Amino acid sequence: MKLIKDVDVQNKRVLVRADFNVDLDEQGKIIDDFRIRAVVPTIEYLIKNNAKVILMSHLGESQGKKDEKLSLGSVGEKLAEYLNCPVAKADDCIGEEIKKQTHEMKAGEIILLENLRFHQEEKENDENFAKELSKLGDIYVNDAFSVCHRLHASVVAITKYIPSYAGLLLEKEVAVLKKALENPEHPLAVVIGGAKISTKIKVIANFLDIADNILLGGALANTVLHAKCLAIGKSLIEEEMVAEIKNFEITNTKIHIPVDTIVSTDTTGQGEVRIAPVGKTKEDELILDIGPETKELFVRIIKNAETIVWNGPMGLFEKENFAHGSKAIAKAIAESSAYTIVGGGETICLINELGLIDKFSHVSTGGGAMLKFLAGEKLPGITALET
């Protein structure tokens, strides 16, 4: 992978693919600007080195057409605050007018292009669209790790038409995750929770050879319990995954599944909530969190680790009654002196709510991209920078 540090950016128009896909509230206000902050060092680096910076991103899902609610305007304002300098906002991301604007830029200036997904060609990895984008810059920088698993024009096709480099954030994401896979400090504990085992089973399988301990919690552990013929009541599971899990080494001693759980007859948190030893869930109950003994067991393993990789909450943490397991795990990892890597949309929401986001060694901006990378798969956006 070629890096921006390896190229002279002075006076060059640098076209940066960032991921400014932030959550907006109903008034269009930014709820969480973690992804915006993550790209700031690359922009600052480019400005310090007298580049002309052209930023591009997608935001939400606009079905290939213009949608004012998904304009990057508020992102531009937020960026200007963080950078403490003006960020000009373009009305589109391709076209003659934009080309003219970018060719007239002076060193140190910043232009933010409009939402790439206002053009359906972006998601189609369209060659012509990519070529049009490439005309705006002298060089291209990918600093959007979280979209590197997507075969999109601004991520993959564009690299055919313009010299292409990895930005500081992408470089760091790749280096950190590569180290976790290739030469982590041991003991390595991998904590996987969240909704669906189907989205994470490859990560678990890949870490079986690498990790010392794999801790499974959250709804995805329910499918594993079910595969082991333990009663899970009416918990939601992925029946179609049972055969694969059985195939897979569920008896591997590195894998730790809950020994007790928090159950209730409904997900509201209003009904009766009780602790149930694993296998003792009643038919009308759902498993909604890990229990106290599991919490203790998991925390002990976490305390003993030198590297920790965490993705996915331990229960339905959005409800106070079912958040204790996730909170305890979050705190234990945050307090650990190990090298700690955390990622995942809901997981980041959780650590943000707990005010712990700055307590981890590395918070990955990639949800799906991180899972793909940790599963040992190639990401097309990264491969495109290697050729």
Q: Which residues are catalytic?
A: 35, 196, 345, 368
Instruction: Report the C-alpha gap between 137 and 109 in whole angstroms.
Output: 13
Residue among 223, 248, 207, 255 nearest 373 (CA): 207
Helix and strand totals (H; E) in the chain: 13, 15
Q: Name the residue nearer to ligand ADP (CB basis): 345 or 376.
A: 345
What are the residues binding ligand ADP (CB under 6 A)?
193-195, 218-219, 287-288, 311-313, 315-318, 344-347, 367
At its nearest, how many Å lie between Mg ion and the CB of residue 346? 5
Label the pairing between strands 213-216 and 110-112: unpaired
Q: Of ligand ADP, Mg ion, none, which one sits near residue 207, judging by CB under 5 to 8 A according to partner kind?
A: none
- Please, what is the minimum distance in Å from the beta carbon of residue 37 to Mg ion? 20
Nearer to ligand ADP, 126 or 318 (CB): 318
- Decide whether 159 or 311 has the Cβ nearer to Mg ion: 311
187: cis peptide before it, omega within 30°?
yes
Beta bridge partners of 139: 14
Q: Which does 259 bind (CB under 5 to 8 A by kind): ligand ADP, Mg ion, none?
A: none
Which among Mg ion, ligand ADP, none contacts residue 347 (Cβ within 5 to 8 A by kind)?
Answer: ligand ADP
Interaction mask 345-374, Mg ion, x per CB under 5 A: xx----------------------------
Q: Among Mg ion, ligand ADP, none, what does residue 377 contact (CB within 5–8 Å per kind)?
A: none
For ligand ADP, the closer CB: 59 or 349: 349
* Structural contact between residues 168 and 142, judged by C-beta atoms closer than 8 angstroms: no
- Separation CA 291–CA 268 (nearest Å): 18
Question: What is the smallest separation between the CB atom of 345 and Mg ion, expressed in angstroms?
Answer: 4
Contacts to Mg ion from residues 222-251, by CB under 5 A: none
The Cα 116–Cα 147 span in angstroms is 13
To ligand ADP, the closest distance from the beta carbon of 206 in angstroms equals 16
Counting residues that bind Mg ion (by CB under 5 A) gives: 2
Chain residue at closest Cβ approach to Mg ion: 345
Q: What angle do CA 340, 341, 346 make, to 5 degrees?
A: 125
3-state helix vs strand vs coil in the chain, percent to 5: 40, 15, 45
Q: Please choose which of Mg ion, ligand ADP, none residue 316 contacts, taking the beta carbon within 5 to 8 angstroms, the exact cut-off set by kind.
A: ligand ADP
218 binds, among ligand ADP, Mg ion, none (CB under 5 to 8 A by kind): ligand ADP
Let me know: does 211 contact 251? Beta carbons within 8 Å: no
Ranges assigned E (strand) in the chain? 13-17, 52-56, 88-89, 110-112, 139-142, 164-166, 188-192, 213-216, 255-256, 260-264, 273-277, 286-290, 307-311, 339-343, 362-363
Nearer to ligand ADP among residue 269 and residue 345 (C-beta): 345
Task: Give least dist CB 42 to ligand ADP, A.
Answer: 25
288 binds, among ligand ADP, Mg ion, none (CB under 5 to 8 A by kind): ligand ADP
Q: Which is nearer to ligand ADP, 139 or 216 (CB)?
A: 216
Nearby residues of 270 by Cβ (< 8 Å), 6 or more positions away:
none
Token match 């939402």: residue? 115
Contact 314, 217 (CB under 8 A): yes
321-350 mask for Mg ion (x: CB under 5 A)? Answer: ------------------------xx----
Strands (E) in 5-87, as ranges, are: 13-17, 52-56
Separation between Cα atoms, residue 62 and residue 151, nearest integer Å: 18
DSSP 8-state class, residue 9: -
Comparison of 142 and 326: residue with beta carbon closer to ligand ADP? 326
Task: Please give the Cα distance from 227 to 160 (Å, whole number).
Answer: 46
C-beta of 350: minimal distance to Mg ion in Å?
Answer: 11
The least distance separating Mg ion from the CB of residue 375, rounded to whole angstroms, comes to: 16
Q: How far apart are CA 94 and CA 130, in angstroms?
A: 10
Interaction site with Mg ion (CB under 5 A): 345-346
